[in-house]
Amino acid sequence: MKRILVTQSDRKATEEVASVLMEQGFEVEDAHDIEDALQKAKSEPWDLIILDIRGSETEFFEAFKDVREHTTSPLVILSGLGQEEYIVKGLNAGADDYLVKPISAKVFLAHIFAILRRASQKEEAPPSGVLRCGDLTIDFHRYEVRVRDKPVKLTASEFRLLSCLAKNPGRVLTNEELLREVQGYEASPQEARDIIKVHIHNLRKKLGLSPENPPYIKNVRGVGYMFERRSGSRKETINRILT
């Protein structure tokens, strides 16, 4: 039975979310607030943690980052704050998904099942289970990423996104394709673009990827992204020599 930790803005909201989940056979436990959730995330294993933005948003996101540091469980923000700035902050802080209330139980559960399904699926790894490209090493079996032999901590969504791109070098993957791979559900082109854009930004920042430091995640405007093993500047040099 999947174990889910839930905390919402008030007791009634927490009970409503818990009720919907328990009707689907999940074991649900509530946390009083983000600090309580942090303590429980540190001390117990969870299949999923659902949080709401409560109190000071600055304090919440600081605590949220702390939760992210102490658990590899998928983290979902379920909140009535649907402004773009909050969604971006949530994803930047390490959320695997950001759901805006009001939301129907049907749509909410579709997201939850998709996230759990993605979390439980094993990555399709190459025979060796390890991909090395420049300073970047991805171990698909151990779910580990290293840059210049130093470990880099990624969220589950970031790891799936990087894996998807790295397994398809030189191929342009659309934002919609990447969202299906990372989150396991469909979305409008605009929503897919916005969500993937945030994850790509975080990946580049954590990995230190740039056109001058290959491999590089290239933005193909209006379409999606592509994993390049070679830097853009080097390609331009080769083209000049050949022509």
pLDDT digits (tens, 9 = 90+) for 165-174: 998 888 899 9
Specify the pTM: 0.62
Contacts of 4 (CB under 8 A, 6+ apart): 21, 26, 27, 28, 29, 46, 47, 48, 49, 50
Q: How far apart are CA 242 and CA 35, in angstroms?
A: 60
pLDDT tens, position by position, 115-165 = 888 777 643 444 458 888 878 899 988 889 999 899 999 988 899 999 999
pLDDT, one tens digit per residue, over 90-104 is: 998 889 999 999 999
What is the rounded CA–CA span in Å between residue 109 and residue 21? Answer: 8
Q: What is the mean pLDDT of residues 217-237?
A: 70
Round to whole Å and give the CA distance between 182 and 165. Answer: 11
Which residue, chain included where needed, has tokens 């605009």?
Answer: 190
* Structural domains in the chain plus CATH codes: 3-120 (3.40.50.2300), 130-242 (1.10.10.10)
Rounded-to-integer distance, Cα 3 and Cα 44, Å: 10
Beta-ladder partners of 146: 137, 151
